[in-house]
Structure 1
Amino acid sequence: MPVYRDDEQKTWFYVFNYYDDYGKRKQKRKRGFKTKKDATDALRKLEVQFSDGTYVESKKIPFKQYIKDWFSIKKLSLSNNTISLYTGSIKNNILPVLGNIELSYLKPMHIQKFILKMHDKGLAEATIKRTFNIVNVCLNDAVKIGDIPSNPASKIEKPKVSPKEMKIWTVNQIQHFLNCSKNHRLYFIFHLAIMTGLRKGELLGLRWKDIDLEKQVLYVTQTLEQDGKTIKKGAKTRSSVRSVTFSKSTKQVLLAYQEQQDIEKEGYEPVYKDLDLVFRARNGAPYHHRNLTRVFESLTKKAELPHIRFHDLRHTHASLMIAQNEPMKLIAERLGHNKISTTMDTYGHLLPNMQHDASNRLDQTIFGESQ
């Protein structure tokens, strides 16, 4: 067994001889073992890895170079907004802490210190989790293609985001808001957001050809990105490309909006940009996310209602579905969630009310009375 003692350092080391893929004889040494047994166990583990083909040669490259190369490929499948978030996270938070460490030398303690550094900077929990996830996905990919044997980020406790109190409107507040905004040009998008639960980007990317007024169903097939210019085919996730039904009242609202658009279009020819968008600027161009947010906040304040984000209309829609005892699978499908567990994690706190109602109905069924 090629295990030897280093008399000067009073430690043990092993020597392993092998042939690379080109038939060239190579030798691998590793020093610093405290006992002969430790060195022997490590050598045997290495021999097994070579035997079953799981050995991975350490990649001697700084992590800053590796993650940059990885990101240059990863960005091809990301939206412009996500690319911007990744770029900032890599530059400001990842490279300063992990950049100069060799990929093969990254240890769980390095990842732990990286997380602590972000906490010390006062970054939000969501930002810390998102930034950690970038590193984690990068290292997972490094394992998949054989650049490292294991992911050091998978061996520590992942950052968590404390759940925030969800802000939603009651039925009376919804009715009041819609009544106050009914004469505004964007009333129709508020109505559709509440009645379908679509995301802001999905609403702003919606086209008339994506809506079947006869069957009362719309199809989410593209989104408007945060820059207010780029229309991305597909949606946030694969499951977000979906069909969503709507009510008779929503159909009437859309028909009325269609008539209003036809009148607007006549006033802007020949400079009108016909992108077939349902919600757009008066000249047909995409309606910017920021402008929609600004209008929504202004109308909310004017109606003297509790402040919520536009995105909270989506949460409001989900809460109404839950209050109606709709199946969670149906709600998940309408919202475009890949898994019911995502819907449960987001809205599970609303379920106790449903359980209370169910208990009362059980009383009614068995005893003919409710408590």
Structure 2
Amino acid sequence: MACKVKKVPNGGGTIRKRSDGRWEARYTNGFDPKTGKQIQKSVYGKTQADVRKKLQAVCTAINTGNYIEPSKLTVGNWFDIWLKEYTGSIKPLTLKSYTVAINNHIKPSLGAIKLSSLGTHSIQAFYNKLLHGSEEMLGLSPKTIKNVHGVVHKALQQACEINYINANPSNACKLPRVEKTKIKPLEETEISNFIKAIKGHQFENLYLFTLFTGMRQGEVLGLTWDSVDLQNGTILIYQQLQRIDGVYKFVSLKNDKSRNITLPPFIIKLLQEHKAMQNQWRLLAGSSWDNSNHVFSNQLGGHLAHVTVSTNYKKIVKSIGLPDARFHDLRHSYAVAALQSGDDIKTVQENLGHHTASFTLDVYGHVSDRMKIDSANRMENFIKTVHEIS
């Protein structure tokens, strides 16, 4: 039965404004088998445009045979629909994480509940169980529960927007506190020891480049020569290399925002020498050379694997007494060094590709606190100098 839209008598078309200020659109979906009368439904919204969008979505679903009566939908049904139909614009790795959260946690615990009956208490009990664990499973970290909640909230919010439920029951849930991870940048002496340790290593240039640009590992491995302007000393960062289901692919950046960074002369010289060395590899490889144009490649021009770069890094830092150091700490080390050298927060934020300067300040606030102390000490020295002159 095709979706039919109920006309309102005042000639206002399919949509009317209610006395309570909300907008309503009415439609019919088949006939009641007992009475033979048309089954009438309504969708509501704050604006006329909002209602028109909801009505179009419902009618399209009915006319294509994909409509499921909201009252009959289970949480599991809806999350399957949401995952298939409403996540088309998100990144592959994000989609994979959503799928894991839904299949491993959400559906096993909440999947059988009717969507219209899902309440805040049920979701809160679910989060509490994830945190504390049970005989069948160990408890999860607050950060993981926060990620699961993000999936729950997004899916239920979409159900609200198409009028399957009236309100999002996850809004009022209380999440466990996520402890802020303490960053561990390399100290000045550790950086010096690291530079000595990588001398002559196959990834020496890659590690130095990462340390003095602060780029993410995926951004470094996804960098291609067409993004490098050696003459002007700049780089355009617009993609990253990720391993998705066993296959390496170029994908957009973490926040979908490309950025330009200006390189210090040391890194420009490093890239010039690296390109010359890579040209030698190209000549030796001959027809076996991979023309994927990676800046940091293997000796046949192909991409480098994240695990290979990280494993070699771990061996090096362990050899200099830093067994807990992570590859990402090179990025932290750059940020701290930049701030301590006098770069302002906004510049560091743009170089790192953070969404906002406030996020950068939140992550590296301890550095700015030390900078404030240094500033106060410089002012004290200035005051003493002025008093001596007078």
Q: Could you state the TM-score of these two structures normalised by the residue count of structure 1? A: 0.82
For residues 195 and 297 of structure 2, the distance between their equivalents in structure 1, rounded to whole angstroms, comes to: 20
Deviation at 1:82, TM superposition (A): 2.3
Amino acid in the other structure paired with 1:232:
F
For residues 183 and 350 of structure 1, the distance between their equivalents in structure 2, rounded to whole angstroms, comes to: 32
For residues 59 and 310 of structure 1, the distance between their equivalents in structure 2, rounded to whole angstroms, comes to: 50
Match of 1:232 in 2: 250
Deviation at 1:118, TM superposition (A): 0.9
Match of 1:85 in 2: 97
Match of 1:277 in 2: 294
**Contact kept in structure 1, 2:26 and 2:40, CA below 8 Å:** no
The match for 2:173 among 150, 153, 156 is 156
CA RMSD of aligned residues (A): 2.8
Map 1:165-314 onto structure 2 (within 5 A).
165-227=182-244, 229-239=247-257, 241-314=258-331
Deviation at 1:99, TM superposition (A): 0.9
Match of 1:31 in 2: none
User: Are 1:117 and 2:129 an aligned pair?
Assistant: yes
Deviation at 1:293, TM superposition (A): 0.7
Match of 1:95 in 2: 107
**Contact kept in structure 2, 1:272 and 1:283, CA below 8 Å:** yes
- CA deviation string 1:133-181 (max 9, x = no partner): 1111112222233332221111122343201221110122112211211
- Percent of pairs with identical residues: 28
Structure 1 unaligned regions, length at least 5: 1-17, 29-45
- CA deviation string 1:66-95 (max 9, x = no partner): 111111234433333223322221111111
For residues 19 and 291 of structure 1, the distance between their equivalents in structure 2, rounded to whole angstroms, comes to: 58
Match of 1:41 in 2: none
For residues 285 and 76 of structure 1, the distance between their equivalents in structure 2, rounded to whole angstroms, comes to: 30
For residues 309 and 368 of structure 1, the distance between their equivalents in structure 2, rounded to whole angstroms, comes to: 45
The match for 2:354 among 337, 343, 359 is 337
- CA deviation string 1:19-60 (max 9, x = no partner): 9424977699xxxxxxxxxxxxxxxxx9xx799889999553
Match of 2:78 in 1: 66
For residues 298 and 95 of structure 2, the distance between their equivalents in structure 1, rounded to whole angstroms, comes to: 26
Amino acid in the other structure paired with 2:163:
G
**Which stretch shows the higher mean deviation, 175-184 or 226-235?**
226-235
Any idea what SS the aligned residue of 1:244 has?
Answer: strand
For residues 156 and 289 of structure 2, the distance between their equivalents in structure 1, rounded to whole angstroms, comes to: 48
**Contact kept in structure 2, 1:139 and 1:151, CA below 8 Å:** yes
**Which stretch shows the higher mean deviation, 349-358 or 152-161?**
152-161
**Which stretch shows the higher mean deviation, 93-102 or 297-306?**
297-306
The match for 2:336 among 296, 302, 319 is 319
Amino acid in the other structure paired with 1:235:
L
Match of 2:27 in 1: 21
Match of 2:156 in 1: 139
- Residues 176/19 of structure 1: CA separation in 2 closer, same or farther (3 Å cut): closer
Any idea what SS the aligned residue of 2:183 has?
Answer: coil
- Residues 114/273 of structure 1: CA separation in 2 closer, same or farther (3 Å cut): same
User: Are 1:357 and 2:357 an aligned pair?
Assistant: no
Deviation at 1:334, TM superposition (A): 0.8
- Residues 174/194 of structure 1: CA separation in 2 closer, same or farther (3 Å cut): same
Q: Could you state the TM-score of these two structures normalised by the residue count of structure 2? A: 0.78
For residues 332 and 374 of structure 2, the distance between their equivalents in structure 1, rounded to whole angstroms, comes to: 21
For residues 386 and 220 of structure 2, the distance between their equivalents in structure 1, rounded to whole angstroms, comes to: 45
For residues 160 and 65 of structure 1, the distance between their equivalents in structure 2, rounded to whole angstroms, comes to: 30
**Contact kept in structure 1, 2:340 and 2:371, CA below 8 Å:** yes
Match of 1:36 in 2: none
- Residues 103/74 of structure 1: CA separation in 2 closer, same or farther (3 Å cut): same
- Residues 260/114 of structure 1: CA separation in 2 closer, same or farther (3 Å cut): same
Deviation at 1:291, TM superposition (A): 0.7
Higher relative contact order (CA 8 A, sep 6+): 1
**Contact kept in structure 1, 2:127 and 2:175, CA below 8 Å:** no
- Residues 51/349 of structure 1: CA separation in 2 closer, same or farther (3 Å cut): closer
- Residues 369/115 of structure 1: CA separation in 2 closer, same or farther (3 Å cut): farther
**Which stretch shows the higher mean deviation, 84-93 or 67-76?**
67-76
For residues 259 and 229 of structure 1, the distance between their equivalents in structure 2, rounded to whole angstroms, comes to: 29
For residues 234 and 351 of structure 1, the distance between their equivalents in structure 2, rounded to whole angstroms, comes to: 31
- Residues 168/51 of structure 1: CA separation in 2 closer, same or farther (3 Å cut): closer
Structure 2 unaligned regions, length at least 5: 1-23, 30-36, 55-68, 134-138
**Contact kept in structure 2, 1:59 and 1:148, CA below 8 Å:** no
- Residues 177/362 of structure 1: CA separation in 2 closer, same or farther (3 Å cut): same
For residues 160 and 210 of structure 1, the distance between their equivalents in structure 2, rounded to whole angstroms, comes to: 41
Any idea what SS the aligned residue of 1:232 has?
Answer: strand
**Contact kept in structure 2, 1:80 and 1:225, CA below 8 Å:** no
Amino acid in the other structure paired with 1:295:
N
